[in-house]
Amino acid sequence: MADAPEGLSSGVRPRESRRTGSESRRLGGEPEGGGRKKVPWGRYFYPFQAKALPAVRRETAIAVALALFIIAYGNLLSLRPDHIRIAYDWAFILGGLALLGLLVLWSVRIEGIPLPTLGITTVSAGRSALAGAALGVVVILPVVLYFLFPLGLEDGIGYEDAEEQTWGGFLLWALANQPVGTAFFEEALFRGVLLAKMTVAWGQRQALVASSVTFALWHLVINFRTIHDTDVASPAILAALAQIACLFGLFLGGLFLGLLRQRTGNLAGCVVFHWLVVTAMWGTLFLVSR
């Protein structure tokens, strides 16, 4: 028969089992003296161990701050009185381009985002521009048709600014102000700097949606002023529906432009799309107001 383990052969319990009750309580975590172990009060309310909330990621914080800054900047700029906007139009355009230059410099030098990632490259520029032109025609055609044949408006759509505009002024706006001060500026801002930074923070899909929402909200004030200056402003329900439709259309436009930017890797298509859509829309209003 095999020998019994040491300690059992004499009928004596192992050393571990011979500990006194007070020793066992102390080894189990109870304080010496037999008192109960103090439990943090929070553990009575939470059945699981509390964990520290994760800090907001730097990329997320910067992306959100950048979006809010852009929305505020665009809408505050749109509040300018008409006489100031007309008198200092090119001053505001140059100021916007200077701001864009600073944001691009910040993206490249501080955030480490290369220019091709911002869409500023000659690679696939021609293919991107053609895609933008084709997409622009598809998007703007229904709007042009509505302006030409407005449902629910017996007298058609009239626009005060278009009625006062001359042919020379319209051509200057369509061929210089709009492509440089609006199309290029906004596309480099939204589909360049903002989309790139949001992609770093959240990935392509989330960045696409978030940048499109920002793009729509950027136009809140300018949409309101534009609708107010047209016959669509009356009745009020029609003006509200027009604002909602404009915001939804801008959101969809942002999605299209973001996808175009992601698929072609170039801002050229976005700039062409933006210029074509806005110029066709305002050009139609200009023509029907003659």
For 193-234, write each residue's pLDDT tens digit. Answer: 999 999 999 999 999 999 999 999 999 998 888 777 666 656
Residue 14 pLDDT > 70: no
Which residues contact residue 121 at a Cβ distance below 8 angstroms, ignoring those fewer than 6 apart?
115, 265, 266
Rounded CA separation 182/212 (Å): 16
Percentage of the residues of the chain whose pLDDT score is greater than 70: 74
Instruction: Tell me the residue ranges of DSSP E strands in the chain.
Output: none
3-state class (DSSP) for residue 120: coil
Q: Token pair of 189, please?
A: 């801002």
Question: DSSP label at 149?
Answer: S
Lowest mean pLDDT among 2-11, 120-129, 198-207: 2-11
Q: How many CB atoms lie within 10 A of CB 114?
A: 11
Residue 165 pLDDT class (50, 70, 90 cuts)? confident
Q: Is the model's pLDDT at 35 over the cut of 60?
A: no
Q: What is the mean pLDDT of residues 43-54?
A: 44
pLDDT tens string 69-116: 999 999 999 998 888 988 899 999 999 999 999 999 999 999 999 999
CB-CB contact of 271 with 187 (8 Å): yes
Residue 206 is predicted with a pLDDT of 96
For the chain, domain boundaries: 58-288
pLDDT at 268: 96
Q: Using the predicted structure, report yes or no on whether residue 52 has a pLDDT greater than 70.
A: no
Mean pLDDT, rounded, of the chain: 81
| CB 151, CB 66: distance < 8 Å | no
Find the mean pLDDT for residues 9-25. 47
Who has greater pLDDT, 153 or 68? Answer: 68
pLDDT at 44 over 50: no
Torsion angle (degrees, nearest 10) of CA 165, 168, 171, 177: -80
Quote the pLDDT of residue 282: 87
